[in-house]
Structure 1
């Protein structure tokens, strides 16, 4: 056998082995490249000598809008995190990939107020075959604006600290709430997308998701989806509802005739009952946040300084807007998606628990705890 014929047979064997391993380990992460495989088999020079021979590389296939289950929606995951959140980020992404996205390969957008480190990006990128982008938040979208009266803001923080309120003294937490309320959907990496699924470090996704929630939102004209409802601490938002009523008096045209005011108030809007959707889990329509009603609403809230003088959170802000500016049938309870963000969790019940092969205890479910508002949401549809 000639040396050239021998080398060609070796190359064919190496390529065949490579693609066999690629198929075999498809669901368990990326396999080594051809060059790494050749190195392990001691064939580096053989491959180098025949470098003019080329083969298709699946990793270079252009990103398509098609999956094995059909067309994707125009959607992405959004993950606000820091470099020191790496362990929790890896855990959350791995679960989401295993439970849902390994079939659909929706892209990921990770955002940070500082640049992500190379180590962070490398550790995260190996977790998914989907496109993944790392972005930095513009300074003006994150830090406390210069026009905020810092003495007044400091006094507000001290007052909350004396009341034992979580994150009472934290300015970065307030930055995050303001960013999630009014700016994340404006980031350049998110502008091409319409729908998003918000993910956070160290959350749990307990169940297999056997359908595409993004397509569900799109096909059913939903604008906001949630899993957990909660009662807000009144001390964090003492003037928020008065500000909301002031905005509504000036802009009644934005209120939907089929709104969910009864979820927010027990007396037709006179007072706020503090119910909100817990926004660390959201599947929602960014075009809703980009629309005229929400843009004017956020600008009005921003002008009052309550994100810093008090501790207005994105959860009540998003919940109030979705409940008032959207129709009630455009807000959806994803009861079949198992989710935990300490200390609260939603665990699906009955058939949903079995179909999802859920890892949570169905008895450990916050839905009907005293400070859950899910009954109010369900009463909207009775």
Structure 2
């Protein structure tokens, strides 16, 4: 029994030892975990404090780097022909006050005023003078914003005052003019005024009036072309009864056969409501026999006019011309990109429909007038097919477009993000097939941002250097600025351009082949049928994006 008691005590002691070992192990683990946590938090706190210290030192250094900087610039100011007129100020109290009229000369170099912390300069010329009522009077005569990177060396002569120089009495005697500037060190975004980018260069392209024979230089501003009160047209067949819309072509004598086919299709499908047709040419269609022949093709119910234009190979082109294409192709692209909407003919109409000599509309019966559809639904732009531009024919175009957006503080619109940018962030090259396009005349002529974009493209020279087409140029700006419900796709008749065609929505199989068969004349060529009017099929991001009229 004593042995059993000793054994029991030993077992109890062993169990007690095991229990103590587990308790010690548990306490040890807790202590180790607390030590680890304490070490991590301590290190994190130390790192955070050090980071704040470094940032504080850097901030102080940044502040001190420009705080003691002394800005200076050389300035020379002159005044020409100062005149003081005592006249009625109709903009204020209608009393007679002094009005200062003068011309200014300014020669200055403001480059030293820029450093890494200066985003732009706001400079202005101030006239200071003394009156019995005030010891100091200041009037701003002229101002200008100079952004970093722009030319800060000004050499201006005989510039007029930008603002009227009125005094509220007759005390404009002794005047001191000084140049003042302000730094703008933080600038979110200041958009460029689109009208400042529109340059009337008295373009060396010309157009001729078909009645008077007078030649005019082309302008690309929104001003009236050479102060024409109303452009006169020598209409064949009959004069227009409506000036809602006009159908325009640009063609040559070599394309007469295809032009006859295109006009015949127009005459058939628009027989319910014939619309005026105007053919632009470079003088090779002045022959009376040719004009009467084309007028006969259209029929005596359709007005037909001819506008002679003259292209040039000088100032607007770059020195480097894309060699794989003829000059006429580049002229055509520039004509439809920026020049056509600024021809005085279009001041007579609200809408225009652009077609090419190889553009054929077709269907089994006359169609509803697309001009009336656009007017009723307030549509700004209509197309029928979409395509993709070849990558090597759009080199630098999307980069220029992004530069344009940045200059005008614009973000990519939802339509651009969905149709012009792929999943990988690249330019999709998707574009409207603009050899068929209906547009509001004012869209490309009067919309300030669209005009600014077209002028930017024209100045860049990419049309001639890279072979940029009017299709991607117009597509980019339209998807950016025109709302989705103001652009439509017409799908209620068929369309063919050269070797590519699409039938009306719902017309398929043998019926489609029957309608297009008259235009498949060359057995040696391969013709491409786009069932949904999209290339390459529905993979094109523009395909079915805009509302469709079927």
- Cα–Cα, structure 1 residues 310 and 75, in superposed 2: closer, same or farther, change >3 Å? same
Which shows bigger deviation, 320-329 or 199-208? 199-208
Query: Which gives a bigger RCO, structure 1 or 2 (Cα 8 Å, sep 6+)?
Result: 1
Which shows bigger deviation, 350-359 or 208-217? 350-359
In the TM superposition, 1:72-151 aligns within 5 A as: 74-100=244-270, 102-116=271-285, 117-126=287-296, 127-128=298-299, 129-137=301-309, 139=310, 142-146=311-315, 148-150=317-319
Asked whether the equivalents of residues 258 and 328 of structure 1 are also in contact (C-alpha less than 8 Å), the reply is no
Is 1:227 the equivalent of 2:399? Answer: no
Is 1:378 the equivalent of 2:527? Answer: no
| Equivalences, count | 297
Gaps of 5+ in 2: 1-235, 518-527
Greater fraction of residues in helix:
1
Correspondent of 1:189 among 309, 330, 345:
345
Distance 1:125 1:60 in 2: 7
**Residue 64 of structure 1 aligns with which residue?**
241
Q: Deviations over 1:32-57 (max 9, x none)?
A: xxxxxxxxxxxxxxxxxxxxxxxxxx
Report deviation, 1:231. Answer: 0.8
Query: Residue 293 of structure 2 aligns to a residue in which SS?
Result: helix
Distance 2:238 2:420 in 1: 48
- Cα–Cα, structure 1 residues 183 and 148, in superposed 2: closer, same or farther, change >3 Å? closer
Q: Deviations over 1:324-377 (max 9, x none)?
A: 11011211111112000122111123279999997138x933535536665544
Correspondent of 1:206 among 335, 341, 362:
362
Higher-Rg member (1/2): 2
Distance 1:62 1:308 in 2: 38
Report deviation, 1:267. Answer: 5.2
Q: Deviations over 1:245-277 (max 9, x none)?
A: 101111245x79664441111259x53110001
Query: Residue 302 of structure 1 aligns to a residue in which SS?
Result: helix
**Residue 217 of structure 2 aligns with which residue?**
none
Distance 1:60 1:144 in 2: 35
Asked whether the equivalents of residues 485 and 546 of structure 2 are also in contact (C-alpha less than 8 Å), the reply is no
Asked whether the equivalents of residues 359 and 436 of structure 2 are also in contact (C-alpha less than 8 Å), the reply is no
Report deviation, 1:84. Answer: 2.4
Asked whether the equivalents of residues 488 and 547 of structure 2 are also in contact (C-alpha less than 8 Å), the reply is no
Indicate the RMSD between aligned Cα atoms, in angstroms: 3.1
Query: Residue 211 of structure 1 aligns to a residue in which SS?
Result: coil
- Cα–Cα, structure 1 residues 274 and 60, in superposed 2: closer, same or farther, change >3 Å? closer
Query: Residue 204 of structure 1 aligns to a residue in which SS?
Result: strand
Greater fraction of residues in strand:
2
**Residue 240 of structure 1 aligns with which residue?**
397
Asked whether the equivalents of residues 205 and 337 of structure 1 are also in contact (C-alpha less than 8 Å), the reply is yes
Report deviation, 1:61. Answer: 8.2
Give the TM-score taking structure 1 as reference length: 0.70
Query: Residue 111 of structure 1 aligns to a residue in which SS?
Result: strand
Correspondent of 2:433 among 263, 275, 278:
278
Query: Residue 382 of structure 2 aligns to a residue in which SS?
Result: strand
Distance 1:374 1:348 in 2: 19
Give the TM-score taking structure 2 as reference length: 0.49
**Residue 346 of structure 1 aligns with which residue?**
502
Asked whether the equivalents of residues 267 and 302 of structure 2 are also in contact (C-alpha less than 8 Å), the reply is no
Distance 2:488 2:318 in 1: 39
